[in-house]
Amino acid sequence: MISAGIDMGTQRVKVAIIKDKQVIATAQNFSGFEPAAVAQQTLNEALEAAKLSREDVAHITATGAGVDMATFADSNISMMGADAKAGAYFFPSVRTVIDVGAEDARAVKCDEYGIMQDFVVNARCAAGAGTFIEAMARALEVDLEEMGPLSLKAERASTINASCVIFAESDVVSLIHREEPKSEIARAIFDAMAERVTSMVRRLGVTPDLALVGGVAKDVGFVAALKRRLGTEILIPENPIFAGAVGAGLVAARRAKRRQ
């Protein structure tokens, strides 16, 4: 049986096609200004990659901040519910899933079946999410992709006091004026961000194993900083950005089965 999950993220729309509990195709696009049209297009691209048509899909479940824009979906699931499902799917030993996306971060506790047990979100403060890295990369005049590798070159971190994006930016500017190495500033930026995420995860309680998903899980600088702060290993799936879509797709499969 074939199902699909669509994750309507604030920055990207992601689709995963699931067949017999295996991910057989994925697709992603920037959400842009017409997320509803992008959703349709992304679904079509994923179906094409899987050499399937819409009729082959038994159930589509949507998730993400723009969930209501995926009008063709058969059902919805919360982002936390999708994260829990995906975390336990990628790594059966995982009990805590941390998801850091473009605009928000969250952490979910799950059981072996991927059922959510508890969750915390940080949606108020951009300093714990991907856009923070973007803003800081701009201030440092470094490509976004370069930020992570750059930070790994530093042996120490500069000091950023502010945990708010706006104030952190002015901190960074004064560090540049003091001619501190960019690598050390970059490391300080990831440390500040990891600090936000860590305090959020600690509110939930750190139950191993931990998995990190979401677009920011691709950033080596952030991953290194988070490991330092949490003092533990963190599992990262091959395509962390698709976690929400995969989780939703797995839920879709279960719901389709229930309906049969």
Contacting residues toward another protein, per CB under 8 A: 65, 76-81, 115-119, 121, 123-124
Cβ distance to another protein smaller for residue 118 or 209: 118
Cβ distance to another protein smaller for residue 117 or 159: 117
Give the nearest distance from C-beta 190 to another protein in angstroms: 25
CA distances from 116 to 96, 145, 248 (A): 10, 32, 13
Cβ distance to another protein smaller for residue 119 or 242: 119
Cβ distance to another protein smaller for residue 15 or 107: 107
Distance CA 198, CA 85 (A): 22
Cβ distance to another protein smaller for residue 42 or 76: 76
Give the nearest distance from C-beta 125 to another protein in angstroms: 12
Give the nearest distance from C-beta 76 to another protein in angstroms: 7
Burial class (CB in 10 A: 0-12, 13-18, 19+), 88: buried
Torsion sign across C-alpha atoms 83, 35, 197, 193: positive
Cβ distance to another protein smaller for residue 117 or 232: 117
Distance CA 169, CA 126 (A): 12
Per residue in 148-165, is it b (16+ CB within 10 Å) or e — as a string?
Answer: bebbeebeebbebeebeb
Look at the block and give the residue holding tokens 């992601």.
14
Give the nearest distance from C-beta 115 to another protein in angstroms: 5
Cβ distance to another protein smaller for residue 124 or 178: 124
Give the nearest distance from C-beta 117 to another protein in angstroms: 7
Token representation of residue 146: 């370069």
Give the nearest distance from C-beta 81 to another protein in angstroms: 5
Give the nearest distance from C-beta 32 to another protein in angstroms: 19
The candidate with the shortest Cα–Cα distance to 244, out of 132, 108, 49, is: 108
Contact assessment for residue 93 and residue 36, using Cβ atoms and an 8 Å cutoff: no
Torsion sign across C-alpha atoms 112, 68, 62, 210: negative
Distance CA 69, CA 9 (A): 11
Look at the block and give the residue holding tokens 């990190």.
212
